[in-house]
Chain A
Amino acid sequence: MRKIFLFTLFALSFTFHATGQENEVNDMQSLKGLSLDIGSGIYGMKMRDELFSPLIYRGFSFAVPQLKLQWRGKKIQLFSNLITRLGILDQNVKSDWIRTPEILYGWNSDVGFLYNVKQWKPGKRNLWLGLNTTLKWDILMNSRMGNSALNYNFILGSSILGRLEFPFGWKAKDLSILNVIHLHRKSRRLLLAWQLEYPLAGLLVRPSFDGIMYPAFDNPDNGSFWDEENINGYILNPLYIRSQTELSYILKNRNRLKITYHWNYFHVKKYDLSDTFISYGLLFSFVFAF
């Protein structure tokens, strides 16, 4: 057993020495250029739409998948993002009776840019500000309710983005064990970033006061989603706020492993009846650098 342990340590040290000769990523220059972020994850959800129900609905959804194409320069970041989600929700009332959960599906796509307005030290902390255009659609199918009642919110709008980046890492010292085994440990580079989004102006489409769309009562002359009654313009109304906190681990070949924590908030109020939707989730992704 002791022999096996020593052999393993020896083998490991050999491996570490072998990789130790490669170039290390040593600054944020490696993030520049075109990259494709492919990820997936799970979101928790919580919502209450008082126009139709006083109940709180909770559930989860899967991001299937997230795609983000990004170009990053010294002063500018351009990006395009698409997330499709599919999940289920159930009400907060406990019951012994069988009931079917709600089905939620939605997607949001973003196109935007960020400008580096402040760099405290070269390759260190960065503050970016930018604009984002969002196309977001959440659809909730209430299968329990006879004629398949349907609830939805659709947003086409622009928003302001703030992004704080905090690259960090450590340079590891080589490790020597009993002067026999020499472990060469790599320096690690990581990027912690927090991005916050606040709406500027756009269009919000929601069910009108009488509600939901009725597939059973649909008719050819009914404008459904796009009726004037359902479309509301907004300017500087905080009806949605999105926060994302990213931790990226930069690999030697400029690719990155990334964990993103999303927190999304949606809130509208009309006639003293509010609709609030919160989702929060972890996305795991791999970023291919081209």
Chain B
Amino acid sequence: MRVIQFILLSGIFFFSSCSKLLIKDEKESTATQNFESLWKTADIHYSYFEEKNIDWDAQKGFYGQYVYDGMPDDKLFEVLANMLNVLRDGHVNLIAPFNVSRYPIGAYSPENFNYRLLKDNYIGWDYEITGGLAHTKLYRDGVYIAYLRYPSFSNMLSKADLNYVFGKMKHTKGMIIDLRSNGGGVVSNVYTLGSYLADKERKVYTMYDKTGPGHHDFGRVVEVKIAPSDTLNYTQNVMILTNRTCFSATSFFCTAMKAFPHVLLVGDTTGGGMGAPGYFELPNGWTYRMSVTKTLAADGSNYEMGVPPDIPVVMNPEHESAGIDDIMETAINEILNYKK
């Protein structure tokens, strides 16, 4: 009897008090611990070390010399952010309560987009907005050309939206989809919009997931295909306008569209961002994200640093001053000169 009572009471006591032993509380973190944690997590999770030829061990030595315990938070943030920017990836951010670091993707390229000019001289101010799409028809040389402006893949696209837009555009000679300065968003919109441009089911890209701590440890492979929509499919000539600040989901879309022969990219190379970001935390509570997958195009090309256009065009500032959008003009001419 007493033995059983003892067992019961010991059990109750044990299971109510050992959570502190199983997850040990830690004291306030130091700058060195935060630096180590960030470096190690990036080392085992980041997916593009090889493609970008980055010596991550060397970065530890270089940036580690600037870290000391007791340094101010903003100084620590600066060192950590600079180390992360070595990755040259717009999907890498350090998020402290007082600041967010980011890699300046578009900083070294011309903007190649002037929406005011576009509205004044090409599409007018009375375009329709359906769901996340602004759209209108341009009239040139006796034919109509469809113009769709999609400013963000975060604007969700429904089938009803696309049925309406593509229904109105089905008798046009060609279509311009203006994705310039579209910073990405929800990748499911890539498949929704892509299905209305698909002539037949095609493999559009392959995603590789990081499955272990080594720089080469990629396991799961997902082949992504886009099949035609069951309602409308636009198979006339399609021009997708891009610039350097097209990023993430927009680069996914551009990569996917390269698999379709009737679709061409016009403009500047996109900003890349072909790795899906994973989210992590530092011991001091700051959050950061980084690419943890990689994506290769259907032909095996790696567009992490940007999807190149089929027709490279840069807006001439003098033409821009005169109200001409060179990228638009090139796309219009391609459609007008296109013969099936």
Contacts and interface: CB of A to CB of B under 8 A. Distances in A.
A219 interface: yes
Given A93-B284, A245-B11, A145 B19 contact: no
Nearest to B184: A216
Interface string A135-149: 000000010111101
B19 A164 contact: no
Nearest to A53: B281
B220 A212 contact: no
A265 B22 CA distance: 9
Given A194-B8, A216-B186, A149 B97 contact: no
B23 A278 contact: yes
B277 to A, nearest CB: 7
Contact of A194 (B12, B278, B283): B12
Nearest to A265: B22
Given A54-B37, A91-B285, A194-B8, A208 B22 contact: no
Interface in A188-237: 192, 194, 196, 208-212, 214-223, 227-229
Q: Which among B98, B187, B223, B225 has the greatest number of chain A C-beta atoms within 10 A?
A: B187
A54 B15 contact: no
A54 B211 contact: no
B45 A210 contact: yes
B35 to A, nearest CB: 13
Interface residues of B, number: 55
Contacts of A146: 277, 279, 289
Interface string B7-18: 110011001100
Interface in B199-225: 207, 209-213, 217, 219-220, 222-225
Contacts of B289: 145-146
Interface in A147-202: 147, 149, 164, 166, 192, 194, 196
Contacts of B277: 146-147, 214
Contacts of A284: none
B4 interface: yes
A104 B154 CA distance: 25
Contact of B187 (A53, A97, A196, A218): A218
B50 to A, nearest CB: 16
Given A210-B292, A211-B292, A278 B8 contact: no
A222 B223 CA distance: 9
Contacts of A115: none
A66 B95 CA distance: 39
Contact of B283 (A55, A209, A267): A55
Nearest to B276: A217
A271 interface: yes
A26 interface: no
Contacts of A250: none
18 contacts: A52-B280, A53-B280, A54-B281, A55-B285, A92-B26, A93-B284, A93-B285, A95-B97, A125-B1, A142-B279, A146-B277, A146-B279, A214-B277, A219-B188, A222-B222, A227-B220, A228-B220, A229-B211
Given A125-B4, A166-B4, A219-B190, 6 more contacts: A166-B5, A209-B213, A211-B278, A220-B191, A221-B224, A245-B11
Interface of B: 1, 4-5, 7-8, 11-12, 15-16, 19, 22-23, 25-26, 29, 37, 44-45, 47, 97-98, 185-188, 190-191, 207, 209-213, 217, 219-220, 222-225, 249, 276-285, 287, 289, 292-293
Top 10 nearest A-B pairs (CB, nearest first) are A97-B97, A93-B285, A53-B281, A145-B279, A263-B15, A210-B292, A210-B210, A217-B276, A211-B278, A278-B19
Interface of A: 46-48, 52-56, 91-93, 95, 97, 99, 125, 142, 144-147, 149, 164, 166, 192, 194, 196, 208-212, 214-223, 227-229, 243, 245, 261, 263, 265, 267, 271, 276, 278, 280
